[in-house]
Amino acid sequence: MLRQKLFLLLTITLSSVSLFQVSSSIAQTSSVLLPSQAPLELDLLTKPKESIITANTINLSGLTTPSLWWAKENSENKLLDNWIAYPASENEAARVDLIVNQQIWSLLDYLERYDFVNRLGNTVRRDAYNVRVFNYQKDLLGTYTCSFTSSPVNCNIQLNTQYKLRRYQ
């Protein structure tokens, strides 16, 4: 009886999986999207230029794009500390450099970091921005990079695993 149930469950599972096969042409044509190589400009947090948006930028006429204030206020344990949003230029897509609290970041495991980058990447992707995540030491911790010229939009997340918490020292 138990064998029959397991066999039936396995049959249903395998038949369901075959319904959701991924087209091989997508895997063959997709390429790794590279994040911006521009340096993090922390001085813009205190002296922003006209086209640069930070957590301290106030727009009196309406919401500022991209809007990360809600994410910052709801960031668990105050992980998101600040950000710098750069408009698109001739050479690069628009991007947001997120600055996180390194102490909190180091307490997160890989999946929690991935979730953070993915959630904020999805938030700013709606406004055609890419994301880079840094600490105040200017270490690149992760990226969420999209190709906005493809349809559907193709995005890639990369995490720097060098900055893990060392629990066993």
Q: Spell out the per-residue pLDDT of the chain, length 169, in tens.
A: 555 544 455 445 444 443 344 333 344 344 557 888 988 988 888 887 877 877 766 665 545 566 665 665 665 558 988 889 888 888 888 999 999 999 999 999 999 999 999 999 998 898 899 999 999 999 999 999 998 888 888 899 999 877 554 443 3
Q: How far apart are CA 42 and CA 40, in angstroms?
A: 6
Q: Which two tokens stand for residue 162?
A: 């060098």
Which residues span the domain enclosing 129? 42-159
Q: Give the SS3 label for residue 116.
A: helix
Predicted model pTM: 0.71
Cα–Cα distance between 111 and 127 in angstroms, integer? 25
133 occurs within a structural domain? yes
Question: What separation in angstroms does the CA of 86 have from each of 2, 11, 94?
Answer: 60, 51, 6
Q: Is residue 37 domain-resident?
A: no
Tally of domains in the chain: 1
CB atoms within 10 A of CB 52: 15
CB 86 within 8 A of CB 95: yes
Residue 72 covered by a domain? yes
Q: Is residue 128 part of a domain?
A: yes
Q: Would you say residue 74 lies in a domain? A: yes
